[in-house]
Structure 1
Amino acid sequence: MTVNYVESSKLPTSWGMFEMHGFTDDSTDKEHIVLSMGEVATDEPVLVRIHSECLTGDALFSLRCDCGAQLQAAMHRIAVEGRGAIFYLRQEGRGIGLVNKIRAYNLQDKGADTVEANEQLGFGADIRDYSMLKPMFEKMGIKRVKLMTNNPRKIKALEDAGVEVTERQAHETGRNPHNQHYLDTKRGKLGHLLDKK
């Protein structure tokens, strides 16, 4: 796998000015970005979120998941701290892609949960790959993180990449009547560290 840094630019947002850093992954032809604020290439732990692309939640404001709310909350928390980074990975639908995600949604409309829907389509429950993180973290100069996540797999992915997770910060937000079953499935079947509501 070859992950290449391409270029950086300013990204003004409602939460403040971020820097946007572009990367290409030759092995998958995917493009990933990092949003950073403040000086992150230091020995002090950096507030970080690993966020997989969710067009429906991030851009179309879907209430079927908590993704959009998590992305906005991460940007807000980094802005409040004045320093941090979001690694935005192009892995829609836990890796199955946007059109297959629509197929999975259709199965969920008929009663399947999010794991069963992926499996009925012939995919694993979560086929995301985090191997691109190592060169991205190296380029950003981030060695130690305070990780905003509820997903133990992301902690392990960073540890495997040689990044020290000094603290896990719970990142629960966006629960609503439309995603209650989805969040319960993430906790019960995928081991996400979520409170029972």
Structure 2
Amino acid sequence: MTTSTPAAAVRTRVRIPLRFPDGFEVATEAITFHGLVDGAEHVALVLGDPTATPTPLVRLHSECLTGDVFGSARCDCGPQLREATERIAATGGVLLYLRQEGRGIGLYNKLDAYALQDAGLDTYEANLALGLPEDARDYTAAAQMLSALGIAELDLLTNNPDKAQQLRALGLSVSRSVPTGVHTNPSNLRYLHAKVQHTHHTIDLAPVASLVG
């Protein structure tokens, strides 16, 4: 990390057994921190043995109440969380669960943006129409968390190039970006296309012209 970024320290470690609705189960060590720059209650989930490889697999997963908890089909967050947990557990690594609802704009603003999307805007246009950034996420706290866990070099499980760029700018070595699966359904196709068009996510999708409705 850059010298201008203060160090964080581990606060608590606790073992938690996870069980997903499809029956997948895995044990994790949940870790909390002191000294995160944004003051948010982010948590690291250590899965498998991160020391088994020089470059543990890491995912920065932004909180999504609607997708992660309620199973909303408007996004791909819930399926990505489920996929990441299993893939990281298999190789050893860390999932950072970051409290950045709605790409950092918060739950109420995200639902306001949903209403604008129902009126025809895409997810990024809706944020801008509300006077908010397209993507307000800053990954300084994520870099602090990884450094506190002794991780300086990693493989990053993501389709979002901004995550790798920010971590590298914060002094971490991202050896490679590992794409997640493509989790499409009729309700999230336009959302996923917007991610490709606006922020260059590496998602292999059919052309927009082939979408129905």
Q: Does structure 2 conserve the Cα–Cα contact (< 8 Å) formed by 1:51 and 1:71?
A: yes
Cα deviation for residue 85 of structure 1 reads 0.6
In terms of mean alpha carbon deviation, does 153-162 or 60-69 score higher?
Answer: 153-162
Q: So what's the TM-score if we normalise by structure 1?
A: 0.93
Question: Which amino acid in structure 2 is aligned with residue 180 of structure 1?
Answer: L
Query: 1:7 and 2:12 equivalent?
Result: yes
Q: Which of 63, 72, 77 is residue 53 of structure 1 equivalent to?
A: 63
**Larger deviation: 66-75 or 42-51?**
42-51
Q: Work out which of the two has the higher radius of gyration on C-alpha atoms and give 1 or 2.
A: 2
TM-score, with length taken from structure 2: 0.86
SS at structure 2 position matched to 1:6: strand
Task: Determine helix, strand or coil for the equivalent of 2:137.
Answer: coil
1:166 paired to 2:171: no
CA distance in 1, matches of 2:96, 2:189: 26
Indicate if the aligned counterparts of 2:182 and 2:204 stay in contact, CA closer than 8 A.
Answer: no
3-state secondary structure, aligned to 1:141: coil
1:161: Cα distance to partner?
2.3
Q: Secondary structure at the match of 1:172?
A: coil
* RMSD (Å), alpha carbons: 1.7
CA distance in 1, matches of 2:54, 2:64: 30
The alignment of Structure 1 onto Structure 2 pairs a total of residues equal to 196
Structure 1 runs not aligned, ≥5 long: none
Q: How many angstroms does 1:42 deviate by? A: 6.9
Question: How far 1:25 sits from its partner (Å)?
Answer: 5.5
Secondary structure, in 3 states, of the residue corresponding to 1:51?
strand
Residue of structure 1 in register with 2:119 after alignment: 110
Amino acid at match of 1:153: D
5+ residue gaps, structure 2, are 20-24, 207-213
2:22 aligned residue: none
2:75 corresponds in structure 1 to 65
Q: Report the equivalent of 2:194.
A: 185
